[in-house]
Amino acid sequence: SIWGGNYWEYMVEFYLCRNQSNVLCLPFEFMKDDLKAVIPKVATFMGVECDDALVEKVAELSHLDWMNKNEDKFNEGWFYEEQ
């Protein structure tokens, strides 16, 4: 169950939109397997110029170790408080 619904019904919405120009469907496993290869694809999709320095910085800030050390930046408590 995802937010009270069916997971597969939720995923179908993404699948149906996959060919729209403003949608980038990117499996988590792709990022897990080779994040540095995915970063330029995401940047291109977003219209952001991407060089090696940006790839390195995004990879660093996307790493679980960095996120664990900066846990306060990822607090979603505000979302649940507004519900």
Per-residue model confidence as pLDDT tens digits over 45-82:
999 999 999 999 999 999 989 999 998 887 777 777 76
Residue 38 burial (CB count, 10 A): 19
pLDDT attached to residue 50: 97
pLDDT tens-place string over residues 17-37: 999 999 998 988 999 999 999
DSSP per-residue codes, 2-66 = BTTB-HHHHHHHHHHHTTSTT-----HHHHHHHHHHHHHHHHHHHT----HHHHHHHHHHHSHHH
pTM higher than 0.85: no
